[in-house]
Amino acid sequence: MKPIARDLRLVAIVALVSFAVCWGSNRWILAHPVHDKDPDQWIEEQLDLTREQNKALEEIERKYEVRRQELHAVIHAANIELAEAILADGKYSKRVAAANAKIHTAQGELKQETLEHFFEMQPVLTVQQRAKINRLAADALYHNH
């Protein structure tokens, strides 16, 4: 086989495989839709919260949401700082390391705030609801890749 014919055949095979992977990925993604529900609404539905429980959780949710938004803003700003450092320095520099550390610190704080929020909600719930939300949280952590 001539080299040009071999190269064209290889290109055709790569194109076919790429198409198949893209098509298959698209089909898989469409078959597994992302939940677009508000997490609070989803929890309310999962736990079948009473009106009184919803009322008791409002302030807890409000405080957490404010802190969550603050930390997301810090992460966003640090991501921009990291991007600018990468573009300016072009290597793993002190600026890159500092921006990366800011991101990790804020992510750690967000995880801590989330856990504290999770456990602050617990006294409002019934024993059965606590068991269910603990299972849901554990399942989410087990399957978070």
pLDDT value at 24 more than 70: no
Sorting pLDDT into bands at 50, 70 and 90, what band is 145?
A: low
Q: At what angle do helices 94-121 and 127-142 cross, to 10 degrees?
A: 160
Question: Which is more confidently placed, 80 or 24?
Answer: 80
**Over the stretch 97-144, which tens digit does the pLDDT of each residue have?**
999 999 999 999 999 999 999 999 999 999 999 999 999 888 888 887
Among the residues of 32-144, which ranges form H helices?
39-47, 51-89, 94-121, 127-142
Distance, in Å, from the CA atom of 86 to the CA atom of 71, rounded to the nearest integer, reads 22
Cα 110 off chain centre by? 12
pTM over 0.75: no
Distance, in Å, from the CA atom of 11 to the CA atom of 6, rounded to the nearest integer, reads 9
- Counting other chains too, the contacts that 49-55 makes at CB distance below 8 Å and 24 or more residues apart are 49/129, 53/124, 53/125
**Over the stretch 67-79, which tens digit does the pLDDT of each residue have?**
999 999 999 999 9
**Over the stretch 89-99, which tens digit does the pLDDT of each residue have?**
999 999 999 99
pLDDT at 32: 47
- Would you call 28 helix, strand, or coil by DSSP? helix
User: Torsions phi, psi of 139, nearest 5?
Assistant: -60, -45
**Residue given tokens 């802190």 in the structure block:** 67
